[in-house]
Each structure stands twice: as structure tokens, then as C-alpha cells.
Structure 1
Amino acid sequence: MNRPPKGAPRGRRRYPSRKKHQGRRSARQSHFSPDADPQLKSVFSDIGTPKNRPFRPDRFQTEAVAAMTESDCLVTAPTGAGKTWIAVQTIRRVFDDGGRAWYASPLKALTNAKLIEFSEIFGTNQVGILTGDRKERPDAPVIVGTTEILRNQLYDAMHQGVSLNTDLVVLDEAHFLGDEERGVVWEETMIYLPPRIPLLMLSATVGNAGAIADWLTAIRGRPCRVVAERRRPVPLYPMVLDPGGTLLPLKAKGERSARRLHKKVERLVSGKKEPEFSRRRGLPPFGDILRVLKAFDLLPAIFFLKSRSDCDAALNLCHGAVPLTDEKKARIFDRIKRLTDNSPHLAHHRQRIHLEQAGVAAHHSGHLPGWKLVVESLMTEGLLTAVFATSTVAAGVNFPARTVVFFNSDRFNGVEFIPLDATQLHQMTGRAGRRGMDRIGFALAVPGRYMDLRLVARLLASRPDKVVSRIRINFSMVLNLLLSHTPGQVEELLKRSFATWLLMANAEESRQKSRMAGVHEVLWENFQRHLAFLKETGFVDTDDRLTSDGVWASQLRVDQPLLVAECLRQGLLPDTDAAQMAGVFACFVNERETDDRLEGRLVPNRLKKTVTRIQKKLTGFSRHMKSRGFDVRQLYLRPAAMTHAWASGYPWENVAGDYGMAEGNLAMLMMRTADNLRHTANLLNVFPDAAVTAREAIGLIMKPPVVEGSDADEGDDA
């Protein structure tokens, strides 16, 4: 790891390391001998597989199912405790009565997994999916989809003056209400959902469930119960790896010492010398660590690392550490073959050799969704020894292990490194211990310059952090609310926000409450600011009603709806060239500052002229937006060029290599571009040429390996 700048506080970093590790073992790395503190002997004696007993639901599960007969319900329970069982039983009751259910999740991968799971339970023809990429059986009685799609359906229902066509809504990963980027979608969904539709929310990490339930009770007029379960289905034991190879208990013995370090760990962190791991340059000795874990039957393991490059480089250090039997190699080979039969690109993945020869894999956003699914399948089926992942895998992906290993007590938030909070650490350690496969799970902290063991002990004994409101006003929200509401009615909706309720609830005196009653005015003033701009630009008339432009622009539920709308109004989109259309839309979805210095061969002149023309024609509109205080993202040429190349038939490997983008990032760019194109494709009655070309562009970019198998043909109907 890079040294922190002189004078910087220990344990904090200003910038992520950019060093590329070559995977060579450092000459300073020693082969230490696996050992364990005597206190761990009794703990390790609990390792093993629990007896196979008939399933009996826990008290909290039956309590939650019963609560849903007469109220809404927010269930908080540790990862793997069985929250999905509650959802299935609640959906089954609606399904058996001839009703309809909507199951919303934050991740497309999780939604796809639920489609398979629910299809086995309710029948393939009874379950549909709506994610943007996929639209199958939209009239099925059970729908799984992303929360954004559910929110958009609520917009449409309000516009049409009808109630959402469902009798139950399940919001999985309900703590996304506090997500900085997407929390607004969860909050809008909860505010707009008609009170007649019962709401079941599931989460492992909510520190203020009672406040959320009280808010929902207040705005929906029906009670919302909290059902909480704090006991993990598989107990967690935290440990520390001494640099000499000895496993130590993290905490001192006894319940009263829950936050106090074990005496040997205390000596370790209080010593004048940094632990040996932190003095090594390059990567930790993963092979040696695997040998220690193997010696005490602590595998399989998930290693949480700080960067994608570290995850990839770690694989080279694992070969020979835990040899695989010929039988296991054969099973892995056979499983990979079946999983990649329809994808030559995945079948020849450069990391396949690590799976087959060492039983280890990397899992992070830089990999293709299809490859991550291969890794998840192998890990879930117990075929892998270890997975090296970034902390993002802690939320939403289901492949627990016996042990999780982490090296840092901080994380990079996109700007700087900040300490982990209780919620993030609970999500990571929630993967330790497999229900039905383990009697105990382990969290192993490896000391180093960016590991604060006292903080880790404190966080493990803490409850998850409180969820806060992330509601904010944006142009898509304003346009869609004006489809069915007057500004006065919108103001009443904004008074129902979680942010307003929290401030009201925290006001102690009635006089304070009177002043706090106007807190919604921040949102209301922001709404009015957006409304004024829409009037200035012809999307709303003087009577606060949408103009004809405003009506069709409301359907552009995309990242930058007004810029896309202005392109349509001025006829700037290349509506006779689908590859160029794809490239242009990639400009609108790109969020990163990009280096636009490209070799001439990588940027066709026609595309460059098109993007330059759009940039110039939008200059006046963009300046107007900025003058009114709205952010306008710059349109970069690089994402347009790489998307155009892929849409034009350029080989995938060449696109990723020539334009310098990780496969996972490139696939995400294509999927988000397709999502944005779909909204223009839906404007067939208003802009027929652009709509047809947008539909064609989707087909050009949504192909293997961006999507695999039948998914490649399903996006066109979404």
C-alpha cells in the first residue's frame, strides 16, 4: 500500500492506491506457521455442519406473516435469518386468494435470482420480471422487478387516475431508503403507494426501524409494525491474525467486555512497531493466510480488499496454498463448462484458470455480470476455496462463506477514505456463516496501517446506523407529479417526506414544532425553482399545467431528461443512424470526468461532428440551466466513441482494450445507455424516427457478452 502523506493521521488515506501489483511474492514475505490461541480451541470445536432438521419457522418469521394480515410490516433481521420466507408466505396468501404481488429489489442480479426462486415456488407462468433489461410476463400475478420500475408504475397510475394493479408490495433491502444516490426512489415509492396496498419491507441493517414505521403509519393511515430479530442464524466469532500466523480472539472474554480487545490483541495494537503485515510492500501473503484458514477448517472464505486491481492480483498468490483434489477440479471444470456453454467470451475468460486450478476467484464491478454469476454459482455450490471481493459485494449478493477476512477499517467513498460505519461492517460480516452448512461463522481482521482494531470491536458491538431521508427534487419527479397533481397537491405530498417527519418528531417543544412545520419549505422552494425553469423553457404553461412538450418529456425518466428533451425538440439526435444514436446517449449517462484524448482511428469523423454539433446547440440551454443554479454534466466524446464502436460491430475485447475500460464498467455503460434509449423508444407517437432508431440502437448494444443467452433478445420489449 502507498504510504500516507507526511502528517496525515494514521489509518486514513487521501487517495486510493494506483499501484499495479504483479502478483510476485515479496522476498520479505515469510512462511509463518499456523497456530491459534488456546482460548480458540473450544470455539473451533463448534465448527461443523448442523444436524439436518425439518424446517420450523422462527418466532419473528411467524410474527411478521401474522402482522401482514392487518398492517404494514418492517422486518429487520440479520443476513441469512430467513426474511425471504416471510415474503414467500405473504405472497402465497395473496396469490392463493387470486390477488397480485409486486416484489421490488435494488439490484438486477438479485431480481433475476428471485425470478428463478419464485418461479420454482409459484410456477414459471405465474411470475413475471420487469427490470428495464427484461420484460417477461408483465401481467403475471407475481412480479419481481427493480424499485425504479415500481416507482415509474406509480407515476403512470397516478397520471391515469387508477390504483396500482397489485394487492401487495414487498420492498427488499429497505435500508436503501437511506442510499445517497437511489434513496429518493424508495422514499417516493413509500409516499405514493396507495394505503389499500399492504407494504412489507425487509432489511438486515436499519438502526431506526421504529422511526420509519411511525412515519409510514402517519402518512399512510394504516399501522406499520416492526418485527426485529437480532440473533444471527449462525453465531459470529471475530478474530485477529497475528503477523506470525497465530489466530487470536478479537475481544476479551465475557459479555461485559464486548468492546474490549483481547490482551494479546491489545499488546499488538499498542506496540511501538507496526504489525508486520503493514510494513510489507505490495499485497498481503494471501497464500499463507489461506494455509492458516485451511489448518483450522475455516474455509471457504471471502476476502474483502480495497480495490479491484488488488482482487485480481491476489489470485496469483494463491496457487498451491490449498491444493484441490482431482475430483474437485473435475467438478469445477464441468460446472464452468455448463455455465458458459452459450458464451464463448466467458468460456475463455482470463481468470478461468484460477477457478479450475486453485479454486479462487475475484468478484467486483470490473467484471462482466455473466462472469460474476459464474463465480457466485460456484461459491454458492461450495466449489470454491476463496473469493476476493470489494466491499460492494457485501450488499445484495448471496454467497456466504465460513469466514470473511478484511484488511481495512476504512473505505473509499469516491473522494476520500473514511472509517467504516456499523452498517457497512455488519453487511460484510453478515456473509460469515452459511445457514444449514455452518454452526459458527468467523470474521478475521488482519492488522495493518489501515486497520483500527478498536474501531472494529466497537462497531461489531454496535447496532446498524440510522437511515436518513435522501429525498430531493429533480426534473423527472416534477414533470411526473404535474401529470396528476396541482402544485398545491405536490406541496402536500412533500409534507409527507421522511425528512419532514424526522425533524418534526425530533422537535421537543410545541413552539419548535410550529417552526419545524415549515421544514418542508426547503423541498417546496426547490420544487418551485424547478417549476419556474420548466415554465421558462416551455414544458409547463402559466397555469402550472404541462404543455404538450411537458407531457412527452415526463416519459423521459432518465439521468438528464431536459437535455434529451431539448435534443428531441431541436432535432439534434442522429435518428437515421442507430450506432450514432447509441453513442450520443452514452454521453448523457456518463457520470465520470473523462479524458477525451483519443487516437484518430478510435473516433469516426461523423460521430465527432454529431457530438460536437449537439454540444454547441445545447450550449445556450445548458447556460440557462446553470444560471438558474442547476448542475449540467459535460458531454464527453470517449463514452460516445466506445459505445459507437461496440454498436458498429467492433469486437468486445478490442473495445475494452482500445478505450481503456474494465469489462464490467463497459457493460454497465451499455446497460445504462440502453435504459435511457428505451425511454426515447417509447415516444413513437411523438418522435417516430427517433423512437425507431433508439429501439434499433438497443439491439446493437444489448448483445453478448453485455447480456447472455435469452436476455440478449428480451430488452427490445422492455
Structure 2
Amino acid sequence: DESGTFKDDSFNAAMAVLQNSGDAAKGDQKGRRGGMANKDPTQTDIFKVVKMVMERNFAPVIVFSFSKKDCEVYAMQMTKLDFNTTAEKQLVDEVFNNAMDVLSDDDRHLPQVENLLPLLRRGIGIHHGGLLPILKETIEILFGEGLIKALFATETFAMGLNMPARTVLFTGMRKFDGQEYRWITSGEYIQMSGRAGRRGIDDRGIVILMVDEKVPPAAGRSIVKGLPDPINSAFHLTYNMVLNLLRVEEINPEYMLERSFYQFQNQTAIPGLYEDFQQKLEKFNSFDVKCEDQIAPYYNIRQELDSLGVQFRTYLTKSEYLIPFLQPG
């Protein structure tokens, strides 16, 4: 809720409703509820949710999916919807055609180029890594200008791009990480859901999760209430880097290194390390060893035995002591 409390009763009640809905509420192994196998696109869950978002004036909306195929399939299910006016469609045509002028004639007839414009005219966009860079840039411009009302994108759209929307919609809560399908982390959820709400325009952002009965309460709480992923510097100083810095007269290597994020993290960690050291030192000083006067001689004898053992092994490896015991053949 608004105070940041995860309501277990409400979550369990919602899961119970989905459980009682039978097959209609079931998702696949990816946790998708978009209705991938439904032949009628107007009857899919994703179509109904996007239509509801538009009817309640919650646009623009970013629909996040975790595969390129899902982005395209969900976008094609919106063929019966039209979000742009005639004037906006003319602007889309102008921006798109001007951007495509840099492509060769063969590239302009690529399927992804020809199939994308009809969607863009209706205010529907697709953004994923499989598109041409010029197409992605054009879609970002159109979305930033408010000419795309529903953008179907992968999570890469949430990385490094300042493209906020009023509503963010997740078509699933599971993703393939290269080895298995897993629940998204709280850091991934925060990164993508953070696109909801435009500064200075919206009082609050809206996030919609399309879930099924497979979501356990612990996973739901971890995703929604978890902490963001920590940011750690990957900076590593190399000899080549130092030599390159020394070659430039205007650059002071020490000045640059002292102001790196890696050095900042190390400096920030010093108070915590010092406090940890003091706690361990106090614990060490307060440690009481019973019968220390009896243990000390035993410890000294063990140390002497270890030292004699090392000396004994060095004698065993000397040739003058080994040769008399060796026989030819």
C-alpha cells in the first residue's frame, strides 16, 4: 500500500481468485498471462488490460516482456486498437519517413521496417535488441514526443534511457537468465517499474503485474518489497592505463584515480571497516583463556615440534643423505 506494507491477506485473496478461475488464469513456465495461444486477439488478457488502460486515460503505457518474440506477438494483438488522431498519424509518417531516408532501398523494404509503420500510426510501438538501431532511435523519439501511447519493450528499454510513462505493465514475472526460468529480482522490478510516473506531470505512477496462481507469497513480497541491486565499481587499474595517463601532460593520474567511483567506494567503506576492527579487537581483549599458564608450555612445545619437523624434511631431501640408500637399476 502507500505506506509500503505488503498485505499478505489481500495477496492471498487475489491468488485464491486466480486459483478458482481454473485454466483461464494459468500461465506458462515463463509466468505469462498474455494469452499467447488464444486465436482471437481481442479476447487475450493483454488486449483487455491495454484497452482498460487507455479507457481510463492511464496512457502512455510501457508493456515489458522478457523476450523479443513476446513483444512482437503482443503488439500484433493490438491491431483492432487505434490511439492516434489523424494529425498525430501525419506526424508519425513525417518523422518515420525522414528517419528512413538514411537507409538504402533494400533496407527500406525489410519486413521489420515495412511492418512497423502501420503499428506506429496507431500509436503502438515495439522496442527490443533485434530492431535496426535507426528504428529504435525513431521509436524513442516518437515515444518521447507522445506519439506512441503503448510501447511493447524488453527490459533493455529501462536501462539508461530517460523514457518515463504513466503506466508500466508486466506481462510476466519470470525470465530466462541463460540457465533457467526464475522470478525477476527486486532490482529488476525497481528498474522497470521506476518508469511509471512522469516528473511534473503525474502525481503517481501505475504498475500492473499480470500474475498467475504460481506466484508464492514469499516471491511476491521479495519482488515488491526487496532492495535495489547494489552498484559496485568494476574499475581495475592496469599498467597500460597508468602509462596512458602519464603520456598526457594535462592529466594528473593521481587526481583522476582519487576521484574514481572505485576509490569513492573504498573511502566510504573505511569507517565501517574501522568499526568492525574495533569490535573484533574488543572481543579479542575480552576473551578469557582458562588455564593459560598450563596451555602456554604445551603451545611452545608444539611450535618447537613443527620447527623440528621442517628441519627434518630438509635433511631428507639433501643428496648426501639420500645417495647411500640408492642402488643402480
TM bracket, shorter-chain basis: 0.5 to 0.7
Q: Deviation string for 1:51-71 (max 9, x for gaps)?
A: xxxxxxxxxxxxxxxxxxxxx
Corresponding residue of 2:147: 383
Question: What do you get for the CA RMSD once the two structures are aligned?
Answer: 3.8
CA distance in 1, matches of 2:57, 2:26: 23
Q: From the superposition, tell whether residues 383 and 375 of structure 1 become closer, same or farther in structure 2 (CA, over 3 Å).
A: same
Tell me, what secondary structure is at the counterpart of 1:350? helix
Work out whether 1:340 is the aligned partner of 2:100.
Answer: yes
Work out whether 1:508 is the aligned partner of 2:276.
Answer: yes
Corresponding residue of 1:317: 77
Work out whether 1:262 is the aligned partner of 2:30.
Answer: no
Work out whether 1:367 is the aligned partner of 2:128.
Answer: no
**How many percent identity over aligned positions?**
22
Give the aligned residue type for 1:255.
S
Tell me, what secondary structure is at the counterpart of 1:351? helix
What are the residue-to-residue correspondences of 1:192-207 with 2, within 5 Å? Answer: none
Q: CA deviation at 1:469?
A: 4.7
Q: CA deviation at 1:297?
A: 1.6
Q: CA deviation at 1:272?
A: 8.8
Q: CA deviation at 1:281?
A: 4.9
Give the aligned residue type for 1:464.
P
Corresponding residue of 1:276: 25
**Which structure features the higher share of helix residues?**
2
Corresponding residue of 1:444: 208
Corresponding residue of 2:122: 358
Work out whether 1:426 is the aligned partner of 2:190.
Answer: yes
**TM-score using structure 2 length:** 0.62
CA distance in 1, matches of 2:68, 2:16: 33
Corresponding residue of 2:239: 478
Tell me, what secondary structure is at the counterpart of 1:302? strand
Q: Deviation string for 1:610-638 (max 9, x for gaps)?
A: xxxxxxxxxxxxxxxxxxxxxxxxxxxxx
- C-alpha contact (below 8 Å) 1:405/1:443 kept by paired residues: yes
State the structure with more CA Rg.
2
Q: CA deviation at 1:438?
A: 2.7
Work out whether 1:417 is the aligned partner of 2:165.
Answer: no
Q: CA deviation at 1:354?
A: 3.4
Q: CA deviation at 1:328?
A: 2.9
CA distance in 1, matches of 2:124, 2:191: 22
**TM-score using structure 1 length:** 0.31
Work out whether 1:329 is the aligned partner of 2:78.
Answer: no
Q: CA deviation at 1:389?
A: 0.7
Q: Deviation string for 1:357-416 (max 9, x for gaps)?
A: 432121011112211110011111111121111111112112222211002323333333
Corresponding residue of 2:306: none
Q: CA deviation at 1:501?
A: 6.9
Tell me, what secondary structure is at the counterpart of 2:90? helix
Q: Deviation string for 1:40-61 (max 9, x for gaps)?
A: xxxxxxxxxxxxxxxxxxxxxx
Work out whether 1:408 is the aligned partner of 2:163.
Answer: no
Give the aligned residue type for 1:505.
G
- C-alpha contact (below 8 Å) 1:403/1:441 kept by paired residues: yes
Work out whether 1:304 is the aligned partner of 2:72.
Answer: no
- C-alpha contact (below 8 Å) 1:363/1:387 kept by paired residues: yes
- C-alpha contact (below 8 Å) 2:18/2:213 kept by paired residues: no
Q: CA deviation at 1:425?
A: 1.2
Pick one of 232, 248, 257 that aligns with 1:468.
232
Give the aligned residue type for 1:339.
A
CA distance in 2, matches of 1:481, 1:439: 49
Q: From the superposition, tell whether residues 343 and 295 of structure 1 become closer, same or farther in structure 2 (CA, over 3 Å).
A: same
- C-alpha contact (below 8 Å) 2:124/2:150 kept by paired residues: yes
CA distance in 2, matches of 1:407, 1:454: 20
CA distance in 1, matches of 2:228, 2:214: 22
CA distance in 2, matches of 1:466, 1:424: 12
- C-alpha contact (below 8 Å) 1:287/1:319 kept by paired residues: no
- C-alpha contact (below 8 Å) 1:471/1:499 kept by paired residues: no
Q: CA deviation at 1:442?
A: 0.7
Structure 1 alignment gaps of length 5 or more: 1-250, 514-718
- C-alpha contact (below 8 Å) 2:19/2:213 kept by paired residues: no
CA distance in 1, matches of 2:214, 2:134: 33
CA distance in 1, matches of 2:217, 2:57: 24
CA distance in 1, matches of 2:199, 2:267: 40
**Number of corresponding residues:** 253
Q: Which has the higher contact order (CA 8 A, sep 6+)?
A: 2
CA distance in 1, matches of 2:4, 2:155: 30
Q: CA deviation at 1:338?
A: 3.0
Q: CA deviation at 1:339?
A: 3.1
CA distance in 1, matches of 2:6, 2:101: 50
Q: CA deviation at 1:472?
A: 5.2
What are the residue-to-residue correspondences of 1:451-462 with 2, within 5 Å? Answer: 455-462=219-226
Give the aligned residue type for 1:336.
F
Corresponding residue of 1:162: none
Q: Deviation string for 1:149-185 (max 9, x for gaps)?
A: xxxxxxxxxxxxxxxxxxxxxxxxxxxxxxxxxxxxx
Q: From the superposition, tell whether residues 450 and 481 of structure 1 become closer, same or farther in structure 2 (CA, over 3 Å).
A: farther
Q: CA deviation at 1:511?
A: 8.2
Corresponding residue of 1:242: none
- C-alpha contact (below 8 Å) 1:259/1:458 kept by paired residues: no
What are the residue-to-residue correspondences of 1:179-258 with 2, within 5 Å? Answer: 251=1, 255=3, 257-258=5-6
Q: CA deviation at 1:352?
A: 2.6
Corresponding residue of 2:307: none
Tell me, what secondary structure is at the counterpart of 2:240? helix
**Structure 1 residue ranges (4+ consecutive) displaced by more than 6 angstroms after TM superposition:** none
Corresponding residue of 1:398: 162
Q: From the superposition, tell whether residues 511 and 306 of structure 1 become closer, same or farther in structure 2 (CA, over 3 Å).
A: same
Structure 2 alignment gaps of length 5 or more: 29-34, 39-43, 247-253, 282-329
Corresponding residue of 2:321: none
Tell me, what secondary structure is at the counterpart of 1:303? strand
